[in-house]
Chains A and B, each alone.
Chain A
Amino acid sequence: MISNDIVSGFINIVPRLFECEEVYWSRTRDVFEARLQTYNLKKQNWLFGAVLGEIGSNTFDHNLIFPDSNAKGLYCDFEYNDGEYVILLDFGKGLKASLSRIRTEIVTDRQAIEVAFTEQVSGRMPEQRGNGLKFVLSTIVSSGWEMYYHSGNAVCLADKDGYLFENSDFIHNGCFCVLGIGGE
């Protein structure tokens, strides 16, 4: 699993992301896709590129309006910790607000993250969609990569041994993830 030091180190700088260099922010989908294509051409790990594309697209699929206009879009650090990890973060509505619209029994962040990663469901019903995060999680585990995904106070952790869910003391309004692919 991704170490606590890596995760807590990033969580400590989250409040300062509003002020960070604009180069880390993709305010719109087209900018994110252009940056992702540049990263993919450099790394040439096509499956990992598909994973990043699915996670990043969710920010723009589910947040047509951002609660805080200063934090519009997707924060991307493709070279976190000397290139060991990729970080994607948004200050959008988060999983619980998206999914509780169509699954009214969802009242906690933990319920929302478990449904998002394990069930075929989408906050954009009646559109037939909702396999993106299942693709992400199954690919991370199958490939032996690592993921820390956080929304609200709930966390999904994954590595070669499988995935599990936890609660966190840190509350993030939106979603963020830390992804690592080792030496690949």
Chain B
Amino acid sequence: MTVEMSNFGEMLLSRPAGREAFLGACAYIFDKVEPLDAIVLDFKNVKILAPSWADEFVSGIKNKFSNKVEFVNTENPSVKASLRAIESPIDMSVFRRKII
């Protein structure tokens, strides 16, 4: 099953909006997913993805369904960075200024 994420908007910002999108998807999209289907999130035409929105939506799927989740069309820099932020902890030590 492929989900066109731009159906939720071009700018996917804030936790409440991400939560609302997830609940809507559960009612009208994920009700048709088969147990062995991968859920493919297609970010084509999404301009902004914030990590808080992504966390609500993607974590919602992972907590509720056992299906594999895949991402496509993630070239947009905000999509790429936000998915990376929610998929694995950010090691902040590498960004700390080195004191010489």
Contacts and interface: CB of A to CB of B under 8 A. Distances in A.
Most buried by A among B14, B15, B77: B14
Contacts of B13: 33, 36, 49-50, 53, 57
Contacts of A49: 11, 13, 47-48, 78
Contacts of A47: 77-78, 81
Interface string B34-57: 000000000000011111100100
B81 A50 contact: yes
Contact of B81 (A37, A44, A139, A158): A139
Contacts of B97: 161-164
B96 interface: yes
A47 B11 CA distance: 11
A128 B16 CA distance: 14
Given A120-B89, A134-B92, A142-B95, A50 B82 contact: yes
A110 to B, nearest CB: 15
Interface of B: 11, 13-17, 47-52, 55, 59, 76-78, 81-82, 85-86, 89-90, 92-93, 95-98
7 contacts: A36-B13, A46-B77, A50-B51, A53-B50, A135-B81, A139-B81, A158-B95
Sorted from nearest, which 8 A-B pairs have the closest CB atoms? Answer: A162-B97, A53-B13, A50-B78, A47-B77, A118-B92, A135-B85, A141-B95, A46-B78
